[in-house]
Amino acid sequence: MTTLITILAILFLSLIVVIPLVEKYTQKHGPIQTGNMHRYIFPLLAVLLVLGVLRYYMG
């Protein structure tokens, strides 16, 4: 039980450190760049769904 609590504490503390760093150093995207990224979301979700179904049926 102490191992679980230790792992959870380390994960929680790392999130407290990592999230502000990621927010600080990421680029802000405009509407054009966001639209370009949005174009790829549904095809990637479809591929993920197909791969999940194949993984389920193959074993």
Which residue carries 């193959």 as its tokens? 58
Whole-number average pLDDT of the chain: 90
Q: Does the predicted model carry a pTM greater than 0.85?
A: no
- CB–CB of 41/33 below 8 Å? no
Q: How many domains does the chain have?
A: 1
pLDDT computed for residue 49 by the predictor: 97
Quick one: 42 exposed, middle or buried, by C-beta within 10 A (0-12, 13-18, 19+)? exposed
Express each pLDDT in 2-28 by its tens digit: 999 999 999 999 999 999 998 888 888
Domain that holds residue 19: 2-58
